[in-house]
Structure 1
Amino acid sequence: MHKSLLSASLIAFALAAPSVQAHETGDIIVRAGAITVNPKADSSSVKVDRGPLAGADLGGKATMSSDTQLGLNFAYMITNNLGIELLAATPFEHDVKLKGTALPAANGKLGSLKHLPPTLSLVYYPLDHKSVFQPYVGAGINYTWIYDEHVGSQASANGFDNFRAKNTWGVAWQVGADYMLTDKVMINGQVRYIDIDTTGYVDNNAVAPGTRAKVDIDVDPWVYMVGLGYKF
């Protein structure tokens, strides 16, 4: 009796499971979902690099907040197991804070910035293209475009202005997986590590005319995305 019930359950599960062709040569895959950029933000100390105090080391560190936006993936399957993928997203916004510097007025929220992180990757799917579950690994190159930098109200009141940060190139690594719900629709989850190294600058003429400070930041974020995909 128990064997009969078990056999019946397995047959029912097999019938309910989707019969699909997962990813094949020439497929175009579009994924969308929530994407979070969580910066590691390991930085150098804050140094004065311009003005009468040039060369002074103020110590301290810079940190960056995380942010979640709408993430988009566009993939094209070159073969059944190899694809090219472009990562895009709506603009991320991060608060930048300084802590532990020798200048008390500099500590706290310095300001904020926005960035776009387009990333082009080569992605490998190791399983047979008929598999409903499709894990993958990938590697590629990232360009981080940083814009709309501005100092916060408290930093501005302490004489800081003209905050800016450099755009940057870096490598990107990823792991992820698709699970096919139908022949066209899938659930997707992915994790990336992106090498983002930038330098931030800020002026402060209240300390001394022509004074500029800088800090090198290894942003190096972990990037997490969960969403749905559609195959054309």
Structure 2
Amino acid sequence: MKLQSLVLATATALTMTTAFAVPAGTWSVAAGAHYVDPKSDNGTLNAGGTDYSVDVGGDARPTLTGEYFVANNVGIELLAAIPFNHDITLTDAAGNEIKGETQHLPPTLSVQYHFDGYNIPLNIKPFIGVGVNYTTFFKEKLYTGGSANLEIDDSVGVAGHVGVDFPFTPTDAFRIDARYIDIKSDVSLNGDDLGEVDISPWVYGVAYVKSF
């Protein structure tokens, strides 16, 4: 429902026109930091006949986005970041825990509509977007005290994006934003399938934005 609402709002926004829009051909670059906050219930994995509930921790890292406006107020944005690192905790019914970790990169491509030129109070500039995320996992580790080759498959999913720019010059702004990303991945241990982990995080960020 969250993603459906974002898609509907984006489609509605793309039909709007305004006399004072961000002109087509504009570029913007945003440098900042984002916190990846996985959903609270990340699923259940089965190893050796034992079910383990999965908890994936959050992490914050520097990020960089570039956006090109293909039409007035309509931009194509690419999100990049240095690798995020997540702690993993597997817990069985008796409360026994197995610790692990993984790193991931989440490049995300979005189509966005910026509400520029609508005479919004304080000159703020909201935006909304929807796109696709590709998440690749690497350096997976499971601390079992023995040989454990943990693998988390790459994920492709829909991503929604909302945010607000607070301009302080005609070409500079402070941004706060949030993304919802659908991340679901199959997990294996020493080649044996364990099941699926559902991370699907909200990603919260701040950035400095420069337009050209």
Fold conserved between structures, TM > 0.5 = yes
Q: Does 1:40 align with 2:39?
A: yes
- Structure-1 residue corresponding to 2:149: 162
Structure 1 Cα separation of the partners of residues 195 and 151 of structure 2: 11
* Aligned partner of 1:219 among 192, 199, 207: 199
Could you give the per-residue CA deviations for residues 132-178 of structure 1, whole angstroms, max 9, x where no partner exists? 421000000000011111223xx2x1x35101100010000010011
Could you give the per-residue CA deviations for residues 168-207 of structure 1, whole angstroms, max 9, x where no partner exists? 100000100112111221101100000000122223xxxx
Q: Does 1:83 align with 2:75?
A: yes
Structure 1 Cα separation of the partners of residues 184 and 150 of structure 2: 17
- Structure-2 residue corresponding to 1:10: none
Q: Secondary structure at the match of 1:200?
A: strand
Where do 1:35-184 residues align within 5 Å?
A: 35-40=34-39, 42-48=41-47, 56=49, 58-101=50-93, 104=96, 107-109=97-99, 111-128=100-117, 132-152=123-143, 155=144, 157=145, 159-184=146-171
Structure 1 Cα separation of the partners of residues 116 and 170 of structure 2: 17
Which residues of structure 2 form unaligned runs of 5+? 1-19
Which residues of structure 1 form unaligned runs of 5+? 1-20, 204-210
Aligned length: 191
Q: TM-score, normalised by structure 2?
A: 0.82
Structure 2 Cα separation of the partners of residues 213 and 97 of structure 1: 18
Question: Amino acid of the residue matched to residue 125 of structure 1?
Answer: H
Which of structure 1's runs of 4+ aligned residues deviate more than 3 A?
Answer: 101-104, 129-132
Structure 2 Cα separation of the partners of residues 113 and 45 of structure 1: 17
Q: Is contact 1:168-1:197 (8 Å) kept?
A: yes
Q: Secondary structure at the match of 1:23?
A: coil
Over aligned residue pairs, what C-alpha RMSD do you find?
A: 2.2
Structure 1 Cα separation of the partners of residues 157 and 202 of structure 2: 14
Q: TM-score, normalised by structure 1?
A: 0.75
